[in-house]
């Protein structure tokens, strides 16, 4: 995973910020051919949920074992090559934030990803450079977000086990439900909602409430339409 300069993600949506940091950390481990040292520095003293890290690791089929070292300070990080630094909420501790800014030139020599609160105190320091990326939730979905930097803006889906490219749109059970709907409509034409749900249940084994949730998501994504009570493909 090449990186040109430090990444600084800024948001007050904590769970989304944690998933994104965990995703990048696990991706860094997965893309490395040799053993590397990875540090997760939780400046918030335990606010970062380790179960999120475990969920993302399972998705990438990565065994964490002792590959991730967790600490609450950047002051004791060893200075050697091959080091990945993933810092969570640096601005919540004044001393740590000042130290990070002071040592930024040295920290930036490594693979450095920072997530921070909004507004970020860290980015106020002139010596701190990097790509600032703001995480914003789109109002029409709980899982759809924009990552916006000075150069570009992209849509992503942030879920419990990592980040997904919005352009891919479908994954997991959401993809399965869409494929069942699509095949049924291609074969039979537009179907009544009450008729298509039993078909999805029989094909997927999912519960009715879960299916209804996925159908709403597919409507929000513009992949299907519900006119009255009739389901059609967009």
Q: What is the pLDDT of residue 1?
A: 41
DSSP 184-198: HHHHH-SEEHHHHHH
Spell 28-52 as b/e; 16+ CB within 10 A means b. bbeeeeeeebbbbbbbeeeebeeeb
Q: Distance between CA 15 and CA 21 in Å, rounded?
A: 10
- pTM, 2 dp: 0.73
Q: What is the pLDDT of residue 81?
A: 63
Percent composition of the chain: helix, strand, coil (DSSP 3-state, to 5): 40, 25, 35
Please tell me whether residue 200 adopts helix, strand or coil conformation.
Answer: helix
| Number of Cα atoms under 13 Å in the Cβ half of residue 30 | 14
Q: What is the pLDDT of residue 114?
A: 97
Q: What is the pLDDT of residue 232?
A: 87
Q: What domains appear along the chain, each with residue ranges and CATH number?
A: 7-165 (3.40.50.300), 172-233 (1.10.10)
Q: What is the pLDDT of residue 127?
A: 93
Which phi and psi angles does 141 have, rounded to 5°? Answer: -150, 145
Residue linked to tokens 């944690």: 18
Enter the tokens of residue 37: 């040292």
Residue 17: in which H helix or E strand, if any? Answer: helix 14-30
Q: Which residues are paired to 125 by β-bridges?
A: none
Contact 6, 112 (CB under 8 A): yes
Taking the chain (234 residues) in consecutive chunks of 10 residues, what is each chunk's mean pLDDT? 75 95 93 79 93 92 88 86 88 96 92 95 95 85 84 86 76 88 90 93 93 87 81 80
| Number of Cα atoms under 13 Å in the Cβ half of residue 148 | 8
**Cα angle: 171, vertex 174, 177; to 5 degrees:** 125
Q: Which residues are paired to 134 by β-bridges?
A: 10, 148
Name every residue whose Cβ is closer than 8 Å to that of residue 54 and which is 6 or more positions away in sequence.
64
Residue linked to tokens 């051919």: 33
Q: How many CB atoms lie within 10 A of CB 77?
A: 19
Q: What is the pLDDT of residue 168?
A: 61
């Amino acid at each position: 995973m090449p990186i040109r300069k430090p990444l600084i993600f800024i948001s007050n949506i904590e769970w989304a910020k944690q998933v994104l940091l965990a995703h990048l950390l696990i991706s860094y481990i997965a893309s490395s051919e040799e053993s590397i040292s990875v540090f997760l520095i939780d400046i918030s003293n335990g606010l970062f949920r380790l179960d999120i890290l475990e969920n993302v690791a399972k998705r990438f089929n990565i065994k964490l074992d002792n590959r991730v070292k967790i600490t609450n300070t950047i002051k004791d990080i060893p200075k050697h090559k091959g080091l990945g630094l993933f810092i969570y909420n640096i601005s919540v501790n004044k001393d740590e934030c000042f130290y990070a800014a002071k040592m930024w030139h040295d920290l930036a020599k490594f693979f450095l990803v920072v997530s921070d609160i909004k507004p970020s105190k860290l980015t106020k320091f002139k010596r701190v450079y990097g790509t600032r990326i703001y995480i914003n939730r789109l109002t029409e979905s709980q899982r759809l977000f924009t990552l916006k930097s000075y150069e570009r803006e992209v849509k992503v889906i942030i879920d419990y086990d990592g980040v997904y490219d919005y352009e891919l749109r479908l994954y997991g059970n959401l993809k399965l439900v869409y494929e069942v709907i699509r095949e049924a409509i291609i074969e039979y034409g537009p179907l009544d909602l009450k008729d298509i749900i039993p078909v999805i249940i029989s094909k997927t084994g999912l519960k009715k409430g879960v299916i209804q949730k996925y159908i709403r998501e597919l409507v929000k994504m513009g992949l299907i339409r519900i006119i009255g009570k009739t389901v059609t493909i967009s």
